[in-house]
Each structure stands twice: as C-alpha cells, then as structure tokens.
Amino acid sequence: MSKIEASLDKAVTKLVQLKDVAKVRLCALWQQYSPRLNQLKQIDYATAKAFVVQFKWRILLVLIVIYAGSKTYDYLFPASDKAGGPVTVTSVVVEKQDVPLIIEAAGTIVSNNIVDIRPMVTNTVAKIEVKDGQEVKAGDLLFTLDDRNDKANYEKLKALADDAQKQYLRAKELVAKNFISKAGLETTLANAKSAQAAARSAEVQLSFDYIRSPIDGRAGIVNVFPGSLVQASNVVSTSTNSTATSSVGSMVTITQLNPINVQFVIPEKDIPVILENQLDGEAMNVKVTVGDSGKKTYEGKVIVVDNQVDPSIAAVRVKAQIPNDAMTLLPGQFARVSLVANTLKDALSIPSQAVVINPRGKLVYVIDKDGKAVSKPVNVVYEYQGSSVVTGIEAGDRVVVEGKQNLRPGSKIREAKAAPPDPNVPAPITPSSPDKK
C-alpha cells in the first residue's frame, strides 16, 4: 500500500508541475502575440486558419494536457466526494454478547479401556467361548485351555492338604493326653500350612486354564483355534493347514467402546486459557465430528490435560470423553475437535469483512448521527468463522459491512435495501450457542 501511495503522490506532483509549465507557456504566447491581435480590427476566417495551421502542434499539446489533467482529477477525487453524493452501503448495529472462545484441532478416537488377552501358561486351547465381535462383560469366560494335568495336580495337593489338616487336629488331641510333645504338634501344624499353600498354588495354576474378560467391551478378531498351542509370552502364533498362514498378536483384544475418548493436541499459546478453566474446576466442552461429511456431531467433556508440553511440536495433549451409545465410533478414526476454551463476556462482535486493513493498522467505518462515514481504529481480539471480536468501538454503533471500498471519511451514506428472500434457497441454519462458562 505504501508503494502505491508514493506512486500516486509522484504522479500528482508531476501533473502540478506540468500544469505550471503550461500556464507559463500560455502566458508567454499571449504576451508575444497579443500586440498583433490588438492591431487586427477584424479577424476573418483566413487569418484564423493561418494561425491554427502555424501553431497546430502547440494547440494540440495544450488540449492533451488539459484532457489528461481533467481525467486524473476525476480519478483521484470521485464525483461522489466532489458533489457530495451518497454511497450505497450495508451496515450492522454492534451489540454486546457472550462469544465462545473456540479452539479447533485434529485428533484421533481412542478407546477408554483396551486389553490384549494373552495366556499365562503354555498350554493347548481346548474350547473357545467367545465369537468375533461379541459384546462381553467383565468376568465372562473367553477361552478354556486343556486343564486335565492342572486339575489332577490340584486334586492331589488338595487331598494332601486335607490329610495334613486331619493329622494336625489328631496331634492336638494327643498333646492334650500327653501322648506326643508340643514340638510334634508344631511340626504337624507346619506340614498342614505347607500343604494348604501348595493346594492354593495349584488352584491358581488351574485358574490360568480359564481365561476371562477383565473389562466390559467388544471382542475383536479371535486369533486362535481349538487345538492351538499358546505360550506364556507376548506372542501368540496360530496357523492353518490349508493356507499355512500364521497370526501373531494376542489371543483376542477386548475394547471398551462406550464411552469412548478422543485425543488431540493444543498449541502452546492456548495453554494458559485452558489452565484457567481447570483452576475454576469446570470441565470444558468439546464437539467432535468424524469423517468428511461431518453430519453427526458428538458432544463431550475434557477429562485430562497432559502434565507436560511436547517440545518437538510445541503442544500439549488433551483427552476428552464422548458418549458412543450407537457404537458408531471406533478407535483409530480421524476426528475434528472444537474445544470451547472460554467465553468472552459482553464482547463486541462484528463481521470480519467490515474490518479494513491499511498501512496504519485496522479500522472500521462507523455511520454517525448525520449519516456520514467516520473511520475508527480497532483492535481484533479474536476471529472465528467470519466473526471478529474487536475493541475501539461502542455498543450501538452502526458499522459498514459492504461498500466500504468507496468510502472516505465524511462521505454521505445511503443504506441498501434488503433483497427479498429467494423461495428456492433454504434458510441458513444458525448454530446453537454453547453453554456459558
């Protein structure tokens, strides 16, 4: 903008200089030929024609200079300004309102709870109690391993523990009759406790053959088959004779889908606003859309803000929880998140297109009580989806939105008539305002 203004200033200066030169040349011509004109008592056609033919180039140059000067003056000073004609504009009245401070981010849907089911012992799968994609509850039986050896071992140790307990009780009776010493009683007590501990250990070992779900959720794809050998490790491999393919991973994965979480990152510059809300003890609201259509919007609340900033991306991780009653969200999906971080109380919001940017800053045109345009410098505090929160104006001011490019300070204003609504065009849907903080 500064280069354009400098070029215009130079052009105006040259035109003024050219105008002065033309005046000087015309005065010189008048002084040179005015005596001859005074001596002529009568100017006939032949004399005028001879004069024009003799000075035709000078006359043409004067006409060109006059024409160029007139056009330049009309361009720099429009007719509406010179004649005081009104400029047609559209405007809005500024009102105080609560404006939500929204932070947009991209995130990922993550499970609220997820468990990989892996064996605790090396054994063979005897029976599969769960199906692919089945909904399970905490404690439901998922797999049964071959329990014959562990069950026999437990029964043997349980019998030994029962026998040791009976011997201890018999020893107590014999001590009362002084048939054995107290040392013998203590020995039988130790043997009974050792046998019971061994039986409990065998019972725990037997329980590993019955794999149950630790959480409520949905089962994924089952990676084992009846007869598959599983090992007590982080790798579960299965194979089929027909295709000779193997599956590496857990026996099955249980994922909690309702409620479900969304994880995203917030830039470092927005962290103070989020922490202020945390200090107030109020949970921040989020709106989540998944997919390209964005037809379905899920509403939830922030449950945690990470305790450190990732220096590689200068952002902090945030996790929010949203309901998923219809089970339409799955972990790993891309999500768009709108976080209502705060609410600007009694803010002055105007359309962003009303703000004019020039080399001296930002300004808006306000219509005064006389119907003339007055420029006012403003400071844009916050901008979102075509609306700007500004300072520098007052509530009740009428701000010019369209037609501001033709305005100058002091220009008269004429409000444009509102166009009748088109019946073929549906009315715009106004989004509902979020809850106040």
pLDDT of residue 33: 64
The strand ranges marked E within 130-216 are 135-136, 141-145, 210-212
More confident residue, 278 or 68: 68
Q: Using the CB atoms, write b or e for 96-125: b if 16+ within 10 Å.
A: eeebbbebebebebebbeebebbbeeebeb
pLDDT of residue 149: 94
Render pLDDT for 113-125 as a digit per residue (tens, 0 to 9): 899 999 999 999 9
3-class SS of residue 196: helix
Smallest CA-to-CA distance from 265 within 313, 299, 325 is with 313
pLDDT grade for 235, boundaries at 50, 70 and 90: low
pLDDT grade for 284, boundaries at 50, 70 and 90: confident
Average pLDDT over residues 303-312: 89
Smallest CA-to-CA distance from 320 within 361, 285, 271 is with 285
More confident residue, 239 or 230: 230
CA angle 84, 86, 89 (to 5 degrees): 150
- Give the amino acid at 290: V
Main-chain phi, psi angles of 140, to 5 degrees: -65, 140
DSSP 8-state secondary structure symbol assigned to residue 251: S
pLDDT of residue 234: 56
Average pLDDT over residues 151-170: 93
Which distant-in-sequence residues (6+ apart) come within 8 Å of 215 by Cβ? 113, 115, 138, 254, 256
- Are residues 209 and 146 in contact, defined by beta-carbon separation less than 8 angstroms? yes
Range name among 170-174, 387-391, 406-410 with the lowest pLDDT average: 406-410
pLDDT of residue 283: 78
Q: How far apart are CA 269 and CA 77, in angstroms?
A: 46
Render pLDDT for 334-354 as a digit per residue (tens, 0 to 9): 999 999 888 888 888 889 888
Q: Are β-strands 413-415 and 87-93 bridged in parallel, bridged antiparallel, or unpaired?
A: parallel
pLDDT of residue 436: 39
Q: How far apart are CA 295 and CA 336, in angstroms?
A: 12
Whether the per-residue pLDDT at 160 is higher than 60: the answer is yes
- Give the amino acid at 144: T
pLDDT of residue 280: 64
More confident residue, 355 or 275: 355
pLDDT of residue 421: 47
pTM of the shown model: 0.60
3-class SS of residue 111: coil
pLDDT of residue 127: 95
Whether the per-residue pLDDT at 193 is higher than 80: the answer is yes
Range name among 220-229, 233-242, 405-414 with the lowest pLDDT average: 233-242
Mean pLDDT taken over the chain: 81
Average pLDDT over residues 421-437: 41
